[in-house]
């Protein structure tokens, strides 16, 4: 068989390779230098290099044999030797291999101990023991008597401790009984002892047929160990599994024969979950439900996951179990459930990974060198412990999910809390039907391989039951009957599918409408592939806006993962190519779900459908396992020479290569095809869940995985260098994509208008992206780390730098007090530039005692990002080349100069947008503020006559009244973080006298930690007898972009906010000329614009409180627009009157209404009796009697704010328009005298009544309404 036919046959075979690994007697003993073992150990406890002794066939076209990788994974710790005093139980484990094309194959390994017969090997081991004994004896005699008297430090005890710590699996148990005699275990005398060495039998398959492969290998070893020869030479069974046992078609089951009896495997159909043969019940028993959910959450969020166990198979069981539960998503990063000691350098990988480390009994976690712990999920399987990252969000509806999983486990007799690895046991409630087609296999073979009629099947079932009652049935290697093993396998399969369905139903509920948010922007495939990085394929903001609030923390981070991006890319790609099998299955399940959709979106109101999906899936598996659909050709005698294939009990024979290297298509055996095989329809090329993609998909295949497993397993120096180079390139590419994504998000490229009352999706997405940046920086600083002191590599580097700089610098002053670097504003105010790197580190250290190292590093990143100093600080940190060389290995990212500069350049691009990530996250810390009052330059001398005070307010509270000392213009104080500043109350003492007056230009407030400067424009007088006589003003602030000198001329993506109306605007409004120039159309347009801005504000995500204050009281706000309206057409009795105030008219109107009521005027009495009139009078009088000296402009501002808050403003306006003072105060063409215009304005104001206005305390202070 050759060419395409051979390749096609290989792809359809159950197994690709059969491999034997072990000791090569010709090359002798070679110490395994990569095992990291000490030569103080007994030679029989050391590891030696293993080799692939044989593998068949030599190669397959689509899955070339990787000799080094298979040898490493078959025997991760190399060869191990044993003596008669040791336990010689066989062990089983599995592994996974990935090709460069991304397809995965599975290896199943049965390891047993075989007696060493080579005299050279025995002599070499004896020589090693003699050398070890001499060294051990000399070290014992050299020890002092005092030290030998101590049991803790005696040579024999130390040697025993070292020996016990190096034992694999259950070696310590065998050592415990002979701990008093070192020569009984861990020693070897060829005259009175037998030497055994490990040998591994491996089967490599394209699909994870765990149970079937395990049974086949166990039966093969049982035949080797048996005193009686098997019916056929072992070559017959191996040839049969390699060339004559096909893959079962999707939705079918297959029976083939091992040495001892029949073996059944099944494969899910196109509408079922993909094949998952690893026992999930065992994984849940090992860790417990809570830990498994936590681990799955970490995997979904693509944290680094490290499994840790003494049992290789436990590593694979948990790893495969987790990746199986990810459906419909797929793990996109490094996946190595078993890494041997030579591969421990991969723990340095600065990318997400899922890896497993085997440890010997007694080994401690502290012995591991883990450079990345900030975002690491460490899973100690043996101790049933999962250490997740600090800020891990909860899985959506986690409590209900745990309850559902616990119910399934209890149904199968397993404790939900885990902590045990016992397999499911049979109970009366869940006992499955007996597998009637598997026991009397000889009779069934004679009846067309199990496809019998009803009567014949009933006869077989009765015979089977009789055999079971009589204790019949073949015995497996573990001492169990094959029937019991088959029942156990069925139970495990049913448990698997029910646990997987719990998660599949959850994902279907969460992403049932994902297709509505996929953006198809490209016209053809080539254009989409060429612009994929810059293309937005999923509307994340809209998707999050329709999710429950409790799910947002998890979902916002999950939407940024590679596995979700790959899933969405697959959906976009399906427009031009066949859908991925997993996606096709998921979509079909969603379509079926929609058929039963009754409009009830509550997941918990659909228990019957959840149960039905569990039942249907379990029933399908049970039907296939109860009756095999296909039976493979029996093992048969091959064309072997006489004398070949002899049986030697306990020794695996030397296989005959000529009969195993290729398939033998003899007429004698190829004609034995079952009837069901002959009638089988032609298989589709896309039904295999892990099969080969179509040529069209291969042509346009894309992947995010730049690092292939085949390269990772290559231990050559060139390959290791290339691997580290790949890590560097991947870090740089990730930095470029993350910074680009953050810029796009911040500049509003993806902002979506949301409905009223939604959560702040924009802020949530921003926090998620910043969290991803912190994770990237931690992984970057952990790459190639040589000296690790703590969980955070970045924070450790910062502390090292701080210590190094401390040798050359004097101790710094308290934050905010160092004025070594200053800048002067145009208006004369002196402010500090942003603090140095060391100052920021010291401030983070003083923030709180209970912050972990990881939290401190993230706080520092948040602070530097908000100050727009992140790139600059990191550049300064990396200038200490001597420190870098001390901390990092030569391959570290931070020592790659060109890539490091590009990395910093990408981070520098974040300076183009404004962040408040530190201010809004760390809300309970104490912040130092500096306030400076800046008067008009010509009247600055007047500041000497006043004694002002200030009160600064922000999102999180206010500073309280802070008195400014006389003859000074600034004050420094510390208080709890105020958040983003919004308003500032500025006033003077009431008893200051008539001379205490000043014209204030603005007030500047400086946050000495974040470097933010807020400007509060004023432009008005403060004092009695001048202006409106105000002794207190409420000013609206705006954030001044920091770093104006360096970033001069740059464009900022965040538009400036509106501040307090300027003095020029107020003057124009109040003067006679200004009133005459105001056009009615402009005034009405301003009013509509102000109201419209408020409506849009409430229809956007809920943002900072200051924004509402700006929209009400700032320039272009509602207060100023209404003031323009009421000033339009205002009469003036005196030609040279400078300013008029609307509050005078409002006040006189209220007085007029009250006097008319008292005089008993009929028309006036009718007005005053109405509730709107009563409320108008009540509010105006309350504002007038307030203890605050806010002046006429301040009173009118308070009047409007209270009216809009209490939904009364639209009722008050008609009252003012109908007042008899209106005709005397306003000209004929005034807007207030136009009934239609007033009615239109009232309708505009009424649209604001549906919103709740939460006014800042600074606006309504002193007024109890």
Res. 247: pLDDT tops 60: yes
85 in a domain, yes or no? yes
Neighbours of 537 (CB within 10 A): 19
3-state secondary structure of 883: helix
pLDDT for 1173: 87
pLDDT for 391: 86
Cβ atoms of residues 254 and 20 within 8 Å: no
Q: Which residue has the higher pLDDT, 893 or 605?
A: 893
Residue 1106: pLDDT band with limits 50, 70, 90: very low
Residue 755: pLDDT band with limits 50, 70, 90: very low
Cβ atoms of residues 538 and 556 within 8 Å: no
638 in a domain, yes or no? no
3-state secondary structure of 1222: helix
Res. 287: pLDDT tops 50: yes
Res. 664: pLDDT tops 90: no
Domain boundary among 921, 940, 958: 921
**Prediction pTM value:** 0.80
Rounded to the nearest integer, the mean pLDDT of the chain is: 77
> How many domains, the chain?
4
Cα 448 from chain centroid? 53
Q: CA 1076, 1079, 1084, 1087 torsion: positive or negative?
A: negative
3-state secondary structure of 1243: helix
Do residues 860 and 885 both lie within one domain?
A: yes
Burial class (CB in 10 A: 0-12, 13-18, 19+), 1106: buried
292 in a domain, yes or no? no
Query: β-pairing, 630-631 with 376-380?
Result: unpaired
Q: Which CATH number is 1003's domain given?
A: 2.60.60.20
The secondary structure of 905-960, three-state, reads HHHHHHHHCCCCHHHHHCCCCEEEEEEEEEECHHHHHHHHHCCEEEEEEECCEECC
Number of H helices, E strands in the chain: 48, 26
Do residues 125 and 225 both lie within one domain?
A: yes
Do residues 902 and 774 both lie within one domain?
A: yes
Do residues 1111 and 1178 both lie within one domain?
A: yes
3-state secondary structure of 932: strand
43 in a domain, yes or no? yes
Look up residue 373 and give its DSSP letter. Answer: -
Cβ atoms of residues 522 and 574 within 8 Å: no
Q: What percentage of the chain carries pLDDT values higher than 90?
A: 23
948 in a domain, yes or no? yes
Do residues 752 and 821 both lie within one domain?
A: yes
Range picked from 520-529, 573-582, 858-867, 1049-1058 for highest mean pLDDT: 858-867
3-state secondary structure of 305: strand
903 in a domain, yes or no? yes
Query: β-pairing, 830-832 with 822-824?
Result: antiparallel
3-state secondary structure of 1061: coil
Kindly give, in sequence order, each residue whose CB lies less than 8 Å from that of residue 155, ignoring residues fewer than 6 positions away: 136, 139, 140, 143, 148
Burial class (CB in 10 A: 0-12, 13-18, 19+), 1260: middle
Do residues 1090 and 1127 both lie within one domain?
A: yes
Domain boundary among 921, 942, 972: 921
Min mean pLDDT across 30-44, 144-158, 330-344, 469-483 is at 144-158
pLDDT digits (tens, 9 = 90+) for 1192-1225: 888 898 899 999 888 988 888 898 888 888 888 8
Of residues 994, 1007, 992, 1001, the one with CA closest to residue 1033? 1001
Res. 1019: pLDDT tops 70: yes
Alpha-carbon gap, residue 747 to 743, rounded angstroms? 6
567 in a domain, yes or no? no
Q: Which CATH number is 1248's domain given?
A: 1.20.58.900
Do residues 906 and 935 both lie within one domain?
A: no
The number of residues in the chain equals: 1265
998 in a domain, yes or no? yes
Look up residue 242 and give its DSSP letter. Answer: I
Alpha-carbon gap, residue 790 to 787, rounded angstroms? 10
pLDDT for 905: 94
pLDDT for 130: 80
Greatest CA separation found in the chain? 135
Of residues 204, 214, 171, the one with CA closest to residue 21? 204
Q: Which residue has the higher pLDDT, 867 or 601?
A: 867
What angle, 0 to 180 degrees and rounded to 10, lies between the N-to-C axes of helices 1171-1184 and 1191-1205?
A: 140
Q: Which residue has the higher pLDDT, 263 or 454?
A: 263
Do residues 1112 and 979 both lie within one domain?
A: no
Neighbours of 128 (CB within 10 A): 19
Alpha-carbon gap, residue 85 to 228, rounded angstroms? 26
Do residues 897 and 974 both lie within one domain?
A: no
Cβ atoms of residues 1019 and 1066 within 8 Å: yes
Residue 1018: pLDDT band with limits 50, 70, 90: confident
For the chain, helix, strand, coil in percent to 5 are 45, 15, 40
Do residues 804 and 937 both lie within one domain?
A: no
Q: Which residue has the higher pLDDT, 192 or 11?
A: 192
pLDDT for 1022: 81
pLDDT digits (tens, 9 = 90+) for 932-961: 988 877 665 556 667 788 999 988 888 888
pLDDT for 652: 87
Alpha-carbon gap, residue 955 to 355, rounded angstroms? 45
Domain boundary among 1060, 1094, 1129: 1060
Any idea of the CA torsion for 108, 110, 111, 113, to the nearest 10 degrees?
-160
The backbone torsions φ and ψ at residue 740, rounded to the nearest 5 degrees and listed phi first, read -65, -45
Q: CA 361, 365, 366, 372 torsion: positive or negative?
A: positive
Helix ranges, 539-626 (H) = 540-545, 552-558, 562-573, 581-595, 607-626
- Domain region containing 747: 717-921
Cβ atoms of residues 627 and 450 within 8 Å: yes
Do residues 1019 and 1168 both lie within one domain?
A: no
Res. 491: pLDDT tops 80: yes
Do residues 780 and 726 both lie within one domain?
A: yes
CA angle (139 as vertex; 137, 144 as ends), nearest 5: 115
């Amino acid at each position: 068989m050759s060419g395409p036919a051979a390749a096609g046959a290989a792809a359809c075979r159950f197994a690709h390779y059969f491999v034997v690994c072990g000791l090569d007697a010709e090359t002798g003993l070679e110490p395994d230098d990569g095992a990291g073992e000490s030569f103080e150990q007994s030679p029989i406890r050391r590891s030696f290099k293993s080799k692939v002794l044989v593998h068949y066939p030599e190669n397959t076209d689509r899955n070339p044999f990787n000799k080094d990788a298979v040898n490493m994974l078959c025997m991760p710790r190399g060869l191990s030797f044993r003596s008669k005093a040791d336990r010689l139980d066989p062990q089983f484990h599995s592994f996974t291999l990935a090709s460069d094309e991304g397809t995965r194959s599975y290896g199943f390994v049965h390891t047993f101990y075989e007696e060493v017969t080579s005299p050279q090997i025995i002599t070499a081991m004896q020589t090693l023991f003699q050398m070890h004994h001499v060294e051990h004896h000399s070290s014992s005699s050299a020890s002092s008597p005092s030290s030998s008297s101590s049991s803790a430090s005696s040579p024999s005890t130390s040697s025993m401790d070292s020996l016990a710590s190096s034992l694999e699996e259950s070696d310590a148990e065998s050592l415990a009984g002979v701990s008093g005699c070192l020569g009984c275990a861990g020693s070897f005398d060829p005259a009175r002892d037998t030497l055994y060495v490990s040998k591994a039998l491996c089967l490599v398959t394209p699909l994870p047929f765990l149970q079937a492969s395990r049974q086949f290998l166990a039966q093969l070893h049982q035949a080797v160990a048996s005193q009686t020869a098997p019916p056929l030479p072992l070559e017959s069974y191996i040839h049969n599994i390699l060339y004559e046992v096909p893959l079962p078609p999707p939705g079918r089951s297959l029976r083939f024969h091992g040495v001892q009896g029949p073996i059944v495997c099944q494969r899910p159909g196109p509408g079922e979950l993909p094949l998952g043969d690893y026992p999930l019940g065992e994984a849940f028993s090992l860790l417990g439900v809570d830990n498994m959910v936590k681990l799955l959450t970490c995997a979904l969020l693509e944290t680094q996951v490290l499994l840790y166990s003494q049992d290789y198979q436990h590593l694979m069981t948990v790893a495969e179990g987790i990746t199986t539960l990810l459906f419909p998503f797929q793990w996109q990063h490094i996946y190595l459930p078993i890494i041997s000691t030579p591969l421990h350098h991969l723990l340095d990988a600065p990318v997400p990974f899922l890896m497993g480390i085997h440890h010997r009994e007694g080994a401690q976690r502290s012995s591991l060198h883990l450079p990345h712990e900030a975002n690491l999920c460490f899973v100690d399987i043996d101790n049933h412990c999962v250490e997740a990252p600090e800020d891990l969000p909860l899985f959506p509806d986690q409590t209900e999910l745990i309850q559902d999983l616990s119910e399934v486990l209890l149904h199968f007799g397993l404790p939900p809390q885990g902590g045990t690895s016992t397999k499911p046991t049979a109970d009366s409630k869940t006992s499955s039907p007996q597998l009637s087609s598997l026991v009397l296999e000889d009779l069934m073979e004679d009846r067309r391989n199990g496809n019998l009629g009803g009567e014949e099947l009933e006869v077989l079932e009765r015979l089977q039951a009789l055999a079971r009652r009589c204790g019949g049935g073949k015995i497996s290697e573990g001492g169990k009957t094959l029937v019991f093993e088959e029942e156990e396998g069925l139970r495990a399969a049913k448990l698997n599918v029910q646990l997987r369905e719990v998660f599949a139903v959850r994902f279907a509920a969460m992403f049932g409408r994902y297709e509505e948010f996929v953006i198809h922007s490209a016209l053809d495939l080539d254009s989409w592939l060429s612009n994929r990085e810059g293309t937005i394929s999923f509307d994340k903001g809209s998707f999050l806006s329709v999710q429950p609030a409790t799910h947002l923390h998890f979902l916002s981070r999950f939407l940024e993962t590679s596995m979700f991006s790959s899933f969405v890319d697959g959906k976009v790609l399906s427009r031009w190519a066949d859908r991925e099998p997993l996606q096709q299955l998921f979509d079909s399940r969603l379509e079926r779900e929609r058929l039963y959709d009754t409009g009830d979106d509550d997941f918990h109101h659909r228990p019957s459908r959840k149960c039905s999906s569990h039942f249907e899936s379990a029933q399908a598996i049970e039907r296939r396992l109860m009756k095999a659909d296909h039976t493979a050709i029996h093992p048969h005698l091959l064309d072997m020479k006489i004398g070949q294939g002899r049986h030697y009990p306990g020794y695996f024979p030397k296989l005959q290569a000529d009969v195993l290297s290729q398939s033998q298509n003899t007429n004698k055996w190829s004609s034995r095809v079952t009837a069901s095989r002959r009638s089988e329809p032609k298989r589709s090329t896309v039904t295999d869940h892990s099969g080969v993609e179509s040529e069209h998909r291969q042509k346009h295949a894309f992947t995010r995985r730049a690092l292939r497993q085949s390269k990772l397993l290559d231990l050559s120096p060139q390959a290791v260098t290339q691997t580290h180079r790949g890590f560097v390139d991947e870090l740089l590419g990730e930095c470029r994509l993350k910074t680009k994504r953050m810029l796009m998000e911040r500049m509003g490229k993806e902002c979506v208008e949301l409905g009223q009352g939604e959560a702040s999706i924009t802020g949530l997405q921003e926090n998620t992206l910043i969290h991803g940046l912190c994770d990237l920086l931690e992984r970057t600083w952990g790459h190639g780390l040589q000296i690790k002191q703590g969980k955070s590599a970045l924070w450790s580097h910062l502390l090292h730098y701080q210590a190094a700089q401390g040798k050359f610098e004097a101790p710094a002053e308290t934050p905010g007090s160092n004025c070594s670097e200053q800048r002067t504003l145009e208006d004369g105010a002196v402010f500090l530039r942003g603090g140095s790197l060391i100052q920021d580190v010291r401030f983070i250290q003083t923030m709180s005692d209970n912050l972990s190292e990881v939290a401190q590093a993230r706080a520092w990143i948040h602070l530097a990002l908000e100050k727009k100093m992140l790139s600059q600080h990191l550049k300064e940190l990396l200038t200490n080349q001597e420190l870098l060389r001390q901390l990092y290995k030569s391959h570290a990212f931070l020592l790659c100069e060109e890539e490091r500069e590009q990395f910093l350049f990408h981070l520098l691009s974040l300076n183009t947008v404004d962040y408040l990530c530190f201010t809004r996250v760390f809300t309970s810390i104490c912040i130092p503020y500096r306030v400076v009052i800046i008067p008009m330059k010509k009247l600055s001398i007047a500041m000497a006559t006043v004694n002002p005070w200030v009160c600064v307010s922000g999102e999180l509270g206010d500073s309280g009244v802070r008195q400014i000392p006389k003859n000074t213009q600034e004050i420094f104080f510390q208080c709890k973080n105020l958040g983003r500043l919004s308003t500032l109350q500025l006033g003077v003492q009431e008893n200051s006298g008539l001379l205490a007056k000043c014209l204030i230009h603005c007030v500047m407030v400086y946050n000495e930690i974040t470097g933010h400067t807020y400007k509060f424009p004023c432009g008005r007088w403060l004092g009695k007898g001048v202006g409106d006589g105000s002794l207190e003003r409420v000013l609206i602030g705006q954030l001044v972009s920091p770093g104006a000198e360096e970033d001069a001329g740059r464009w900022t993506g965040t538009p400036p906010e509106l501040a307090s109306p300027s003095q020029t605007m107020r003057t124009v409004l109040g003067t006679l000329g200004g009133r005459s120039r105001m056009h009615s159309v402009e005034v009405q347009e301003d009013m509509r614009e102000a109201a419209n801005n408020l409506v849009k504000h409430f229809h956007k995500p809920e943002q900072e409180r200051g924004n509402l204050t700006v929209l009400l009281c700032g320039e272009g706000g509602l207060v100023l627009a209404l003031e323009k309206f009421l000033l339009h057409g205002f009469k003036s009795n005196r030609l040279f009157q400078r300013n008029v105030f609307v509050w005078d008219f409002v006040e006189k109107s209220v007085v007029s209404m009250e006097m008319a009521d008292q005089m008993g005027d009929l028309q006036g009495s009718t007005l005053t009796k109405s509730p709107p009139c009563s409320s108008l009078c009540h509010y105006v009088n309350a504002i007038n009697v307030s203890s605050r000296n806010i002046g006429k402009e301040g009173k009118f501002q308070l009047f409007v704010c209270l009216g809009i808050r209490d939904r009364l403003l639209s009722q008050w306006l008609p009252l003012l328009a109908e007042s008899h003072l209106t005709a005397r105060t306003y000209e004929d063409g005034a807007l207030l005298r136009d009934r239609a215009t007033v009615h239109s304005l009232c309708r505009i104001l009424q649209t604001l009544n549906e919103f709740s206005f939460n006014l800042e305390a600074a606006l309504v202070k002193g007024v109890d309404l």
